[in-house]
Amino acid sequence: MRLGARIRELRHERGWTQFEMSERIGLDRSYVSEVETGKIEIRLRNLELVAQAFNLELHQLLKFPPKKR
């Protein structure tokens, strides 16, 4: 769930719609939605595509901000 929220946050920072994101990674918009909402788990290969779309290394994509208490 946190990964989906991170992907959504990064997508919003760039001003991309889910459709624009899906076009950049070559996957369906509904897939992006399901990943962001935590309905499905993202495959490693697709996670690499997401990182590339954001121009990030995989480890940077997986760096989560500290949880707020």
Asked if residue 31 belongs to a domain, the reply is yes
Domain total for the chain? 1
Asked if residue 34 belongs to a domain, the reply is yes
Task: Evaluate if residue 67 carries a pLDDT over 80.
Answer: no
Asked if residue 68 belongs to a domain, the reply is no
pLDDT in tens, 4-55: 999 999 999 999 999 999 999 999 999 999 999 999 999 999 999 999 999 9
Asked if residue 44 belongs to a domain, the reply is yes
For tokens 């990182």, name the residue.
Answer: 51
Domain that holds residue 13: 2-61
Spatial distance between the Cα atoms of 65 and 33, rounded to a whole number of angstroms: 21
- CATH number of the structural domain spanning residue 12: 1.10.260.40
Asked if residue 14 belongs to a domain, the reply is yes
Asked if residue 66 belongs to a domain, the reply is no
| Helix, strand, coil fractions of the chain, as percent rounded to 5 | 60, 0, 40
**Dihedral of alpha carbons 49, 53, 55, 61, sign:** negative
List CB contacts of 27: < 8 A, sequence separation 6 or more.
46, 49
